[in-house]
Structure 1
Amino acid sequence: MSKSAAILFVHNEVDTIGWWLAHHATIGFSTLIVCDDHSTDGTLTALSNAATLYDIRVQSADTTLSTRLERQTRFHENALAQGHDEFDWMMILAADEYLHFETARSVAEFTANAPGTTIPVNWCLFGSSGRLTPSAFSPVETFIRHGLLSLPDHRVVRHLVQPRSLDTGLPDPFSALDRNAVWDEARILHFAASDRESFFKRDSSATPEQAWKNFDRNDAEYGGANRWLPGSRRIASFLTQASLTDLYWRLKAVMTHADKSTLQKLGLTPDQLSVSSSSRSQPQFRFCTLGATQRLMLDMQTGSLVPVGETDTNFGRYNPLIMALEVSDTDIWNACLFVENPLPGRYLSLAGSPTLLPMVPLHIKIAENTVQSPVSGDDIHIAIPDHALTEIDATISLYSRITSFMVLTAGGHNLAGLLRGIERLPAADASALGCAVAMLPFEEAERLSDAFPGVVPRNVRSARPPQA
């Protein structure tokens, strides 16, 4: 069986590294070989957590080499040399480059009938699609517009190579500048622009406005790479929940050891964590099904949400959705959406929610009768039959599904309350912790992320409030 490896040299890409790993595992690379160049944003921590789940071989750049280019070149040379006897095919990529096949279902299928020992794949330069700020969704679904095929930049190539047949030297990305780009069978989705804020934050050009103008190409729309999203999301959900489990244990250690240094980073004092300082009464929840004469359910065969009548219910196929509403005297109620019977998979898929958790955090705007993601800040359209929420009995079984969330938020939707909840929660519950983090105020979620870099995924961090 063919074995393949993608090679990545990376620096400070914590918010997107999970999507890169998930995408390239989904398209069939056997192994991902990643070198972290002394990131300061938690990228190495995210990689280390991911490596407990998949064949991701993580290493750190050689500190004896003074420049990043030298460290990158040395890593690429060593990776290809070390893969000489193990891998049939290898490919060097950057963190903003995603390999995509037009029809092939995997790396193995794409390379099966290769006419030679090297397969060049042209760039396809994607612009910002008008996005100004970072997104919690995959770049594949966030950035869907690219430059025209005739753009000179598209002549840049990445090579799938057979390492045992590789001559001395690294594959040259500029070896095909004299030939027109071709996307008939494959392309490198190059998200060089990303969103405007992230682009300028990287500070990777002496003339940033000129570089932005070159990379922000939005002439044509392309959605062919969406076929990888179900697989990418599934893997990304594992990575998200591994990070949140790590976060639980780190927070547990803070409380166990009364870590004043970390509390200071979180903007908290020991007095704020005392039980007596919390005067909040125990929150009350209402449980509802979505619909009246029909109910919205998860079709376990297709993964889609469908309205189902009482006489049509097949409990082997359909899993009813339940919304737990946290009663509030404000216009916005917190809510958690989950299925009545625990999922065999890792997350509940809801269009517009990036959380990738079995339980989806929501904000319900009572006066406007709208649903919003606390992470993206965008409205979510849920096709509720009859436009009705039907309240049901709050059974012990239903309460058991949100017990961990209730423990984590009993002291309020703030960092002090979260840490008090962590102290009382006896075991890690990634889904409940992710929902609790999503409902923190934006500034507090950012402090949590800064204090624990690499273990607070962007897809559970609350949205930045709109500027006045």
Structure 2
Amino acid sequence: MSKSAAILFVHNEVYTIGWWLAHHATIGFSTLIVCDDHSTDGTDMVLSNAATLYDIRVQSSDTTLSERLDRQTRFHEKALEQGRDEFDWMMVLAADEYLHFETARSVAEFTAAATTAMLPVNWCLFGSSGHQVPSAFSPIETFTRHGLLSLPDHRIVRHLVRPRQMGSSLPDPFSALERNATWSDSRVLHFAAGDHESFLRRNSSATPDKAWQNFDRNDAEYTGASRWLPESRRIASSIVQASLTDLYWRLKATVTHADRTVLQDLGLTPAQLSAPSSRRTPPQFHFCMLGQTKQLMRDMQTGSLVPVGAGDVNFGRYNPLVMALEVSDGDIWNACLFTENPLPGRYLSLPGSPTLLPMVPLHVMIAENTVLSPVSGEEIRIAIPDHALTKIDATTALYTRMTSFMVLTAEGHGLADFLRGIDRLPAPDASALGCAIAMLDPEDAGRLAQTFPGLIPRSLMPVRPPQS
């Protein structure tokens, strides 16, 4: 079996590094070799947690070299040299570069018939697709428009190389500038622009507008790489949930030891953790099925959500959806959506929700019968049959599915309430933890993310709900 490795040098890419790892694991690289250039935003924590799940070999850059380019070059050279005896193919990529095959199903299949020591793959420069602010979704899903093939930048190449046949020099990205670019069998999706806000933050060019115009290419649409998304989402979800599990244990230690330093960073005091709950009684929940004459269910064969009549239910194929609504005096109720029976996969896919959890956090505007994502603030259009939520009995099985979330939010949705819930929760439940974080006040969630960088993904960072 052919073995392959992707090589990445990275600095401060906390919100996208998980997607890069997930994508390149999906397309079949055996190993990901990543050098973190002393990131300060939590990138190292994402890498550390991901490395517990996959063959991701993480190292730090050589700080004896003062220039980042020199540290990067040194790492690339050593990675290729050290991989000669282990890997059949290796490839140097950047954090905004995603390798894609038009028809091949894996790196092994793409390289199987190769007769040369190097396989060049041309850039395909993607623009912002009109995005002004960062997105929690995969870059492949977010950015779908690119420049025309004739663009000179597309002559830049990345190489899949046989390390045993390589000399001492690194593959030259500019070695094919005299040849026309081709995307007939592969391309490197280059998300150089990204959204406008992130581009300006990353680039310190004296002429940022000119640089933006060069990279923001949106001439043609391409969605061929979406075929990798189901598996890359599954892998990304496992990375997200590993980080949330890590967060649980760190928060548990903070509460157990009343760590004043961490609590101060969170804007709290030990006294606030021991203060009595402001709630007189625990919150009440209504459990509902989605629909009346037909019920919305997850088709376990296709992963899609479909309305199913009572006479058509095949419980080997269909998994009913349940919405747990937290009763409130206001017009906006917190809610969690989950399948009645546990999913064999890592997350519940709901169009418009980026959360990558088995349980999806929601805001339900009762008067308007509208469902919003607490993360994006945008409406999630769930095709509920009959436009009806039908209340069902609150069984022991349903309460069991919600127990961890109920423990975390029993005293409210403030940060101190959340930490007291952590103290009572005996074991980590990444799904419940993620839902509870998505329902915090955005400022509280921001302090939590700043105190524990890299452990809370953008896909769970809440926005302020609309005023009721």
Could you say whether these structures have the same fold, taking a TM-score greater than 0.5 normalized by the shorter chain as the test? yes
2:331 counterpart letter in structure 1: D
2:386 counterpart letter in structure 1: D
2:50 counterpart letter in structure 1: A
C-alpha contact (below 8 Å) 2:277/2:417 kept by paired residues: no
Partner of 2:222: 222
Partner of 2:322: 322
Taking the aligned partners of 2:375 and 2:26, their CA distance within structure 1 comes to 25
Please give the root-mean-square deviation of Cα atoms over the aligned residues, in Å: 1.3
Partner of 1:296: 296
Residue 108 (structure 1) aligned with residue 108 (structure 2): yes
In the TM superposition, residue 464 of structure 1 has moved relative to its aligned partner by 6.0
Taking the aligned partners of 1:3 and 1:193, their CA distance within structure 2 comes to 32
Partner of 2:394: 394
**TM-score of the superposition, structure 2-length normalised?**
0.98
Moved more, 259-268 or 56-65: 259-268
Deviation string for 1:95-130 (max 9, x for gaps)? 000000011100001111113110100111111111
**Mapping for residues 251-270 of structure 1, pairs under 5 Å:** 251-270=251-270
**Mapping for residues 121-132 of structure 1, pairs under 5 Å:** 121-132=121-132
C-alpha contact (below 8 Å) 1:122/1:154 kept by paired residues: yes
Taking the aligned partners of 1:251 and 1:2, their CA distance within structure 2 comes to 42
In the TM superposition, residue 271 of structure 1 has moved relative to its aligned partner by 2.3
Residue 35 (structure 1) aligned with residue 45 (structure 2): no
C-alpha contact (below 8 Å) 1:119/1:161 kept by paired residues: yes
Partner of 1:156: 156
1:304 counterpart letter in structure 2: S
Partner of 2:168: 168
Taking the aligned partners of 1:376 and 1:80, their CA distance within structure 2 comes to 41
C-alpha contact (below 8 Å) 1:271/1:277 kept by paired residues: no
In the TM superposition, residue 466 of structure 1 has moved relative to its aligned partner by 8.6
In the TM superposition, residue 424 of structure 1 has moved relative to its aligned partner by 0.4
Q: 1:16 to 1:35 in 2, by over 3 A?
A: same
Taking the aligned partners of 1:172 and 1:126, their CA distance within structure 2 comes to 22
Taking the aligned partners of 1:58 and 1:109, their CA distance within structure 2 comes to 26
Taking the aligned partners of 1:48 and 1:423, their CA distance within structure 2 comes to 25
Deviation string for 1:215-251 (max 9, x for gaps)? 1111111100000000100000100100000000010
Partner of 2:417: 417
In the TM superposition, residue 168 of structure 1 has moved relative to its aligned partner by 2.2
Taking the aligned partners of 1:71 and 1:465, their CA distance within structure 2 comes to 44
Deviation string for 1:324-376 (max 9, x for gaps)? 00111111110000011111111111111111111000011112211111112
Moved more, 273-282 or 77-86: 273-282
Taking the aligned partners of 1:60 and 1:92, their CA distance within structure 2 comes to 16
Partner of 1:119: 119
C-alpha contact (below 8 Å) 1:96/1:191 kept by paired residues: yes
Partner SS for 1:379 = coil
**Mapping for residues 196-207 of structure 1, pairs under 5 Å:** 196-207=196-207
C-alpha contact (below 8 Å) 2:279/2:412 kept by paired residues: no
Partner SS for 1:230 = helix
Taking the aligned partners of 2:279 and 2:99, their CA distance within structure 1 comes to 53
Partner of 1:313: 313
Q: 1:465 to 1:312 in 2, by over 3 A?
A: closer
Moved more, 454-463 or 415-424: 454-463
Moved more, 433-442 or 271-280: 271-280
C-alpha contact (below 8 Å) 2:277/2:411 kept by paired residues: no
In the TM superposition, residue 25 of structure 1 has moved relative to its aligned partner by 0.2
Q: 1:259 to 1:95 in 2, by over 3 A?
A: same
Structure 2 unaligned blocks of 5 or more: none
